[in-house]
Chain A
Amino acid sequence: MTLAQQGDRRPVRWLSWFVSDDPPGRIPLNIFMLAILLVLAFAPFLFPGTKALGVSARICIFVILVASYDLMLGYTGIVSFAHTMFFGIGAYGVAIMLAKGWVGWGAVVLGATAGAAVAAVIAALIGMLSLRLRAIFFSMITLAIASFAQIVAEQWRNLTGGEDGLTFSVPAILRPSFHLFAKPVLGITVNGPVITYYIAFAVALILFLIMLRVVNSPLGLVLRAIRENEFRVEAMGYQVVAYRTLVCVLSAVMAALAGALMALVLRYNGPDVTLSFSLMIDILLMVVIGGMGSLYGAVIGSIVVVLAEYYLQNVLASISAAIVGMPVMSALFHPDRWLLWLGIIFVLIVTFLPQGIFGRLRSRR
């Protein structure tokens, strides 16, 4: 605050506007989060290779997906299991448009818009359900609706390609064969997938900042109040159902846009990649590991879980290679046990850091 006392607050105030006056925390934590932002911004150059690019893109997309889920779970206290459904709807929107032979940006934009619109309508209907249902029944109904969506995607083969999914061509500049520059930049060929990554990164950053604005807006305060004491919110003149519905819609639209990005990145979409229940579990893991009720937690959670999913096997492989002589131990560290280790990490975090990794970092004095 010494800066403020000197009357030289303008640049700080302006920067702060971007994060809606809600920076991650104190200066070291702000620097840490800024470093993450920079690493993601230069990921294609820092970590060359197709796999690393895929992992980085997945992190960006999951930041949107997890942050939007946290709007409901952590901020408003709504437990929904239908979030992957909205992700899938967005992905199918783009996939169906492109797979049906219309290759171009028009198809991408139309597909993403249509996906977001369908997601919004379904979310509005689900949100209104919360008018009459107790929380637990609401959650169960979202689970049923999500399973139904999965069945529809698997059975409606003409449209969705069934269990095989849809493979399609993306616009020319997003294809691997497209090179933006004749020569490599910093040793990296800026090809279609790199451009796709930057689209995902930019969209994720913008949507994240929008969500950060929402939670720090007057409406965001009402959402947190609903989580705390919805009865009192009503007595203050706010119609709780309207807010629940609104947050469901907003969250669903964000998830659908994340899905659209996923389709562009993978150039494929099927029920396993965007609709499966294990994806829903991943989202829950990320929210809890990162920290519920703080959007920055979504960033940490996405990074930790996605990296674990992709690299834990490699880490285990090198550990078990190093201790190959010890019979029980090497079996325990066998790469196939990665899910077990992920589970252990999860249990440890929930036990020792109930407010999640980011929540813990933020509350440090």
Chain B
Amino acid sequence: MTGDVPALSTRDLTIRFGGQIAVNAVTCAFHRGTLTAIVGPNGAGKTTYFNLISGQLTPTYGSISLFGKDITRMGAPHRTRLGLGRAFQLINLYPSLTVFENVRLAVQSVAQIRFDFLSIAARDSQVRQQTQHWLDRVKLGPRANLIAAALSHGDQRKLEVAILLALEPQVLMFDEPTAGMSLDEIPTILDLIEEIKQETHKTVLLVEHRMDVVTRLADRIIVLQDGMLIADGAPAEVVALPVVQQAYLGVQQNAAAHGEALQ
């Protein structure tokens, strides 16, 4: 377990939907103990990049490795078991299960309780305590017995994060975790991400539109545009790049200037 092998890396990762190349030859490595922000305009391919990494989509070309192991052809469940965890941009829960059950599924998975069909789940006090622990961490403890569909949007996002944490992944991918949350709820999530960052062996990938958040949390920023990786560096450097200014401040530039920025 040397620091040389990246926690996660992609090589020439490409996916084509019909005529459109949503992710185009993205080569990038993410190291243990770092938090990398992924930014880019709408439709840049950020979520698709995540889908490829977590196994929801199969790449047209290129490869992905996790701790040096090639996972390109591996199914999503297996990747999760190897320590890859993902929170989704669109709310992706079990709406008619309780908040508690939503998280318990993740805790069971980590505890490798997979095919136990003869014990009473509710009587496993270890799983119960662990589930309660994760719910408390996102401040959903008091809502444990509601069904997930009854939660507010912000609480559903928190639940999404609780599930991710409960899977105890080594690599955590957050896809706009604060989108649609009210201003007073956002700090809960951001503080959590910051806490995770303190655990030095974890690797975090964060897609986020809010530049203030990104510059505060990230060790490094990569920029995707039209499926291509167009910039990669320390937050201060990347934010200063014309291409980022263009993407985020809407500065109109001609194609030639754009091309130069790429190089």
Contacts and interface: CB of A to CB of B under 8 A. Distances in A.
Nearest to B122: A21
A220 B105 CA distance: 10
Interface of B: 54-56, 75-78, 80-81, 86, 92-97, 101, 104-106, 108-109, 113-124, 127, 163, 167
Given A221-B101, A237-B167, A228 B117 contact: no
A232 B108 CA distance: 14
A129 B142 CA distance: 42
A123 B75 CA distance: 24
Given A234-B76, A236-B109, A216 B94 contact: no
Interface of A: 17, 20-21, 213-214, 216-222, 224-225, 228-229, 231-240, 242, 246, 250
Contacts of A225: 94, 97, 101, 105
B120 A221 contact: no
B92 A237 contact: no
Contact of A238 (B92, B114, B121, B127): B114
A238 B109 contact: yes
9 contacts: A218-B113, A218-B114, A221-B105, A222-B108, A224-B94, A224-B101, A229-B93, A236-B106, A237-B80
Given A221-B105, A221-B108, A237-B109, A214 B80 contact: no
A226 B55 CA distance: 18
Given A228-B95, A229-B92, A232-B94, A239 B75 contact: yes
A221 B108 CA distance: 10
Given A219-B116, A220-B121, A236-B167, 10 more contacts: A21-B122, A217-B121, A221-B108, A225-B101, A236-B109, A237-B78, A237-B109, A238-B109, A239-B77, A250-B117
Contact of A228 (B80, B96, B113, B118): B96
A233 B109 CA distance: 10
Contact of B104 (A214, A221, A238, A239): A221
Contacts of B108: 218, 221-222
Contacts of A242: 115
B97 A213 contact: no
B120 A20 contact: yes
Contacts of A216: 120-122
B117 A236 contact: no
A235 B117 contact: no
A213 B116 CA distance: 11
A17 B120 contact: yes
A87 B106 CA distance: 36
B80 A219 contact: no
B77 A238 contact: yes
Nearest to B112: A237
Contacts of B105: 221-222, 225, 233, 236, 238
A251 B75 CA distance: 27
Nearest to B124: A218
Contacts of B163: 236
A237 B78 CA distance: 6
A233 to B, nearest CB: 8
**Taking each of B55, B76, B92, B127, which has the highest tally of chain A beta carbons within 10 Å of its own beta carbon?**
B76
A242 B104 CA distance: 20
Given A228-B97, A234-B76, A234-B77, A217 B106 contact: no
Contacts of B124: 218
A239 to B, nearest CB: 5
Interface centre among A232, A246, A250 (most CB of B within 10 A): A232
Given A221-B104, A236-B163, A213 B56 contact: no
A237 B115 contact: no
Contacts of A224: 94, 97, 101
A224 B121 CA distance: 13
A221 B121 contact: yes
Contact of B118 (A213, A229, A236, A246): A213
A304 to B, nearest CB: 25
Contacts of A222: 105, 108, 114
Nearest to A13: B123
CB-based closest 7 A-B pairs: A237-B80, A228-B94, A219-B117, A237-B109, A234-B76, A217-B117, A218-B113
B94 A229 contact: yes
